Amino acid sequence: MTDAADRQAIDETHDARRTSWVPGADGHPDFPVQNLPYGIFSPQDGAARAGVAIGDQILDLAAVAAMLPPDVVPACGGNRLNALFALPRALRVTLRRRLSDLLSDEQYRAAVEPALHPADDCELHLPAMIGDYTDFYVGIHHATNVGTLFRPDNPLLPNYKHVPIGYHGRASSIRPSGVPVVRPVGQHKAPDAAEPAFGPSQRLDYELELGVWIGAGNALGTTIPIASAADHIAGFCLLNDWSARDFQAWEYQPLGPFLAKNFQTTISPWVVTAEALAPFRCAQPARPAGDPRPLPYLWDEVDQAGGALALELEVSLLTGAMRAAGLAPHRLSRGPASNMYWTVAQMVAHHASGGCNLNPGDLLGTGTISAPDREGFGSLLEITRGGSDPVALPNGETRRFVEDGDEILLSARARKDGYAQIGFGSCRAVVLPAVGG
Amino acid sequence: MTDAADRQAIDETHDARRTSWVPGADGHPDFPVQNLPYGIFSPQDGAARAGVAIGDQILDLAAVAAMLPPDVVPACGGNRLNALFALPRALRVTLRRRLSDLLSDEQYRAAVEPALHPADDCELHLPAMIGDYTDFYVGIHHATNVGTLFRPDNPLLPNYKHVPIGYHGRASSIRPSGVPVVRPVGQHKAPDAAEPAFGPSQRLDYELELGVWIGAGNALGTTIPIASAADHIAGFCLLNDWSARDFQAWEYQPLGPFLAKNFQTTISPWVVTAEALAPFRCAQPARPAGDPRPLPYLWDEVDQAGGALALELEVSLLTGAMRAAGLAPHRLSRGPASNMYWTVAQMVAHHASGGCNLNPGDLLGTGTISAPDREGFGSLLEITRGGSDPVALPNGETRRFVEDGDEILLSARARKDGYAQIGFGSCRAVVLPAVGG
C-alpha cells in the first residue's frame, strides 16, 4: 500500500458521517466506530483474547478471523497484542479499515454480531507482555513545578531543554485500570527528623501521564531515526505513575526514583492506535524564544509540524465518603496533552539513539503532563504545593495527598471540528490501606 | 526434605574428595563437580536447551531427564531456566544432589556420557527470560570514589547507609559473554563546552558487578521478609555494567542514568547456584563504629553472620595490540566481593519492601564492587581518577577509558581451605567502533 492509499484509508475510517450498526456506538464518548482501540479481554468464564472496543461492546477478533485480511490473522490470536503491535504500518491500516467496514456496514451485521460481548461482562487485562517500561519527563511545567519544590534556586536543570530526560521503570507492577493499589510502606525521612522511619507512605500521589506502546522495534546497536520514529509507535494509553513522595525525596539521589514508583502503575487497557489519532495530530508548540534548537538527531520538521496530540486530559477524585454519599467524582484538573516539551517521536528517537533496542510491547510514559496553571496541574504535589495548600472538595473534605479509599480517575478525549470525538476509556484505581498499616 | 537434610545434601555435593568421571573436571578452575552451574546452550546445529557445566563439557539436562527426580523434570525442559529458578529450594537441592551423583559415580557413566557436549562447540545464551533488571549501588568504596569525582564536598549522600540504593535498568539489552559491544553514540557536554554535542562516547567504561538471579518471587502488594530473602535467590553471575561516563554526567540529573547504561550489559551465562556457593558464605563485614544500625526490615542476625560471599573478583584487559602480539590479558584489578555495604538478602528484602513484585528470572546487579585501594577499583573511572591518571599497560600502551578493539574480561573464584575452588566462567566482550563513528 502506498503512503497516499494509507492516508486515504485512515481518512475514510475517520469520516464523521460513518455510523455503526452496534447499538450505542454512535456518539459514544470514547469508542465510536472512528476509534477502534485494541485490547485483551476475557468474557465471563472465557479465556483472555484480543478484542476491539465498539460502544459498550467488545468484538472478539479471533471469532471474526475468517473475515479479516489473512496477513493479520496470526497477529490477532493469543492473549497478548505484541504481534499486532509489531505489524508493519500498512497492515495495521488495512486491519483498521476492514474492522471499520465490518462494524459499519449492515451487510456484515449477521456474521459479526455473535462475536460481540457486552463490555460490562468482560474483564480487561494488560494488552501486551511489557518487556521494558521507560518513563520520561517531558511535561515541562511539571518539571518546573517539581523542580521549584525540590530545588527552589534551580528548578529546571541545564540539560532539560537538550535531552528528553527519561529513566527505566518497573514493568512487573504495571496493572490495568480497576486493580486496587495497596498503599506502600517504605523508608522516609522528614527534613527535620534525626533518623529515617519505616511505615505507610504519608504522601501518596498520582501522576497524570500518557503511555506510548512501541510497535516495530530496532535491533541492539542500531538506532531509530527521528524521521521514522512515528512508524514505531503502535498506540497510546493513559498512565497513572503512582508516587510515594516521602519515599522519593529520601531515596532518589543519586540514581533516581526506585521504590517510590515501583509499587504499582495503572494504565488504561485499551490501545488507542496511532491511526485512530491521526486526525488529532497538531503542531508541537513553538519553543520559547531563546530556547536551544535540539541536536539534529532529535529534530524533524514533519514531527514539529504534526507530532503533538490534541488531547484533553482530566483527573478526577472519588473519595470513600463521596462514594458512600452517591456523589460523582470531583475533577481535580484539566489540561491539554500539548504541554509536552518533547514529542513522542523525539522520545523514541532519543531512547534508541545509543543503540538500545526497543521491542514490540515496550511501554513509554511521557512523565506528568501539567499545564502552566493550577487548573491543569497533573499531580497533587503540584496542586497542593507539596501538601501545604490542601484541595477543598465539594462535600467539605480536603486533600493534601491521596487517602485510603480514594479512587483516582484519568481520562483523555480527542476533539476536533468535523470529526467524531474519541476517548481512551477508563483508567481508575482505588487505594487500599497499607498491609499491617 | 528437612532443613538438616538440605544442609547435608549440600555438604556432600561439596566434599572436596568427590571426583568426576568427566575428563578434566577434577581441578577445573571454574567447573569441577562441586559447582554444577546451570545455563542455556545450543550444540552445533541444535536447538537451545538447559545444561550443566562440568569441566569443559556441558551436560544436556533434557537428555538425562529419565535419570532426574520426576518433580524437577518439567523445569529442566525448554530454552529458559525461569521455571528451574522458581523451584522450591528443597527441589533445587535434590536436583543438585542427583546431578552430583550422576557425574561422580562411574556406574552412571555409560548412560550419561552421550549427553555431554564439548563446551567449545556450543553457543551459550542468556539463561532466563529477564522480566526486569534492577541495578543496586552497594559497593561502598565505589560509591565513595565516584561521589568524590562528582561531588567532592559530599561524596556519600546521607541516605547511603540507610537505604540500599538501587534503580531500574534495561532488560532488553542484556547479552551473554562474547557478544561484542558497539560503542554508543549520544549527547554529552564537557563542563567547559557552551553546548552539548552528539557523537561516539569518549569515556566508555566497564563496571565490575555481581548479578543475582531471582528464584521464587512475591505477589504484587506483598513483601519478602529479610529472614527468608535468601530463599528467593536462585544463583549468581558476573555482570559488566558498561557505562558511557560522558553521557552519564550530562543526562543523570534528576532521574538517574539512562542512555549511559542501557546500550548493553554483559553477563556470564552460567548460573552459579546459591547451593554451590553455600560453603563460601561469610560474615558481612562489621559496620564501622558510628554507622547507623539498619531499620528492622533490613536487619537479620543470620544474614549478618553468613550473608556475604567469599569471592575473589578480577578484571582484565586485552587490547587489540596485545591480541595481535599474542599477549595475555593484563589484570586491571583484583578484590573481594565482601566490599558490599549491603548483602544480597538486604537488596531483595528492600526491593520488595514496598510491595513491588519480583519474578523468577529477574536480575539484580550489585553495583560496582571496588576495594578501598586502587588495586581493587572496579572501573576505569576510579582507577584513572576520571581519566586524569592513565593506566600503563605492560606493552607500553596506556588507557584512560576503554578503546575500540579492547576486550574486558571479568572473573570470580570462590576459594576456601578444605573445599574445591569453583568459578563463574567467562564474562568478556570486545568493543567495536561506533556505527558511523
CATH number of the domain that residue A55 is part of: 2.30.30.230
Active-site option among B142, B188, B232, B350: B142
Q: Residues B76, B180: one domain?
A: no
Positions of A marked catalytic: 142
Domain match, B240 and B331 both: yes
pLDDT at B153: 83
* Confidence at residue B227, expressed as pLDDT on a 0 to 100 scale: 97
Would the pLDDT of A95 be above 90? yes
Cis peptide before A254 (omega within 30 of 0): yes
In one letter, which amino acid is A395? Answer: N
Residues in contact with B348: Cβ distance below 8 Å, sequence separation at least 6, in sequence order: B212, B214, B224, B229, B232, B233, B358, B364
Q: How many CA atoms lie within 13 A of A308 on its CB side?
A: 20
* A300 and A424 in a common domain: yes
Among B134, B172, B207, pick the best mutation site for testing chain A contact (most A Cβ within 10 A).
Answer: B172
Q: What is the reported pLDDT for A153? A: 83
Q: B56 lies in a domain?
A: yes
Evaluate whether A225 touches A203 at the Cβ level (below 8 Å): no
The answer to whether residues B373 and B144 touch, using CB atoms and an 8 Å cutoff, is no
Residue B375 shares a structural domain with residue B314: yes
Q: Within a domain: residue B201?
A: yes
pLDDT at B191: 87
Among the partner-chain residues B170, B198, B251, the one whose CB lies closest to the CB of A356 is B170
Backbone φ, ψ for residue A265 (5° rounding):
-130, 130
Instruction: Answer yes or no: is pLDDT of B2 > 60.
Output: no
B296–A157 CB contact, under 8 Å:
no
Q: In the predicted model, is pLDDT for residue B18 greater than 50?
A: yes
Inside any domain, residue A437:
no
Chain-wide mean pLDDT for chain B?
A: 96
A120 and A242 in a common domain = no
pLDDT confidence of residue A1: 43
Angle at A229 between CA B262 and CA A232, to 5 degrees: 85
Q: State the CB neighbour count (10 A cutoff) for residue A397.
A: 17
Is A151 within any annotated ligand binding site?
yes
| Of B125, B141, B157, the domain-final residue | B125
For the record, the C-alpha cell of A162 comes out as: 537538550
CB within 8 Å: A350 and B163: no
If phi over 0 gives left and psi between -120 and 50 gives alpha, with beta otherwise, what is residue B283? beta
Residue B385 lies in a domain: yes
In a domain, A110, yes or no: yes
pLDDT tens string B285-311? 888 899 999 999 999 999 999 999 999
Q: Is B121 annotated as a binding residue?
A: no
Helix and strand numbers (H, E) in chain B are: 11, 27
Per the CB < 8 A criterion, the answer to whether A13 and A275 are in contact is yes
Q: Give the H/E segment covering residue A351.
A: helix A344-352
Q: Which of A210, A212, A130, A143 is nearest to A173 (CA)?
A: A130
Same domain, A195 and A259: yes
Same domain, B87 and B169: no
B156 or A4: which carries more pLDDT confidence?
A: B156
Q: How many Cβ pairs within 8 Å bridge chains A and B?
A: 198
Model confidence pLDDT, tens digit, residues A101-157 = 999 999 999 999 999 999 999 999 999 999 999 999 999 999 999 999 877 888 899
B9 and B144 belong to one structural domain: no
Contact B196 A163 (CB under 8 A): yes
Helix (H, G, I), strand (E, B) or coil at B121: helix
Residue B437 lies in a domain: no
pLDDT of A9 above 80:
no
Last residue of a domain, one of A95, A125, A155: A125
Domain edge (last residue) among B125, B147, B182 = B125
> Tens of pLDDT along B224-256?
999 999 999 999 999 999 999 999 999 999 999
Q: Which residue has the higher pLDDT, A79 or A7?
A: A79
For B304, other C-beta atoms within 10 Å of its C-beta total 18
Sign of CA dihedral A53, A57, A60, A65: negative
Is residue B73 pLDDT above 70, yes or no?
yes
* B269 pLDDT more than 60: yes
Is B333 contained in some domain? yes
pLDDT, position B1: 43
Do B244 and B302 lie in a common domain? yes
Q: What DSSP assignment string belongs to A312-337?
A: EEEEEEE-HHHHHTTPPPEEEEEEET
Q: How many domains does chain A have?
A: 2
Asked if B120 and B17 sit in the same domain, the reply is yes
A132/B357 touch (CB, cutoff 8 Å), yes or no? no
Q: Are residues A309 and A417 in the same domain?
A: yes
Q: Is B63 exposed, middle or buried (0-12, 13-18, 19+ CB in 10 A)?
A: middle
Q: Please judge whether B296 and A198 are an interchain contact, meaning their C-beta atoms are less than 8 angstroms apart.
A: yes
Angular region, A377: left φ>0, alpha ψ -120 to 50, beta rest: beta
**What domain range includes position B55?**
3-125
Crossing angle of helices A3-14 and A89-104, in 10° steps, is 30
Q: What is the per-residue pLDDT across B119-161, written as a single tens digit (0 to 9) for each?
A: 999 999 999 999 999 999 999 999 999 999 877 888 899 999 9
pLDDT tens digits for A315-360? 999 999 999 999 999 999 999 999 999 999 999 999 999 999 999 9
Contacts of B351 in chain A (CB under 8 A): 259
Confirm whether B383 is domain-assigned: yes
**Residue type at position A326:** G
Check A258 against B362: CB less than 8 A apart. no
Tell me the three cell numbers of residue B267. Answer: 553477563
- Closest in B147, B295, B356 to A259, CB measured: B356
Residue B256 has its nearest CB partner, among A167, A197, A292, at: A167
Which of the two residues, A3 and A384, has the higher pLDDT score?
Answer: A384
Does residue A5 surpass a pLDDT of 80?
no
Residue A279 has what DSSP assignment? G
Contacts of B130 (CB under 8 A, 6+ apart): B171, B174, B361, B362, B363
Question: What is the mean predicted confidence (pLDDT) over A255-260?
Answer: 97
Whether the per-residue pLDDT at A437 is higher than 70: the answer is no
Q: How confident is the model at residue B437 (pLDDT cuts 50, 70, 90)?
A: very low
Q: Say whether both B137 and B121 belong to one domain.
A: no
B142 is catalytic: yes
Residues in A closer than 8 angstroms to B258, CB to CB, are 134, 165-168
Mean pLDDT, residues B324-343: 97
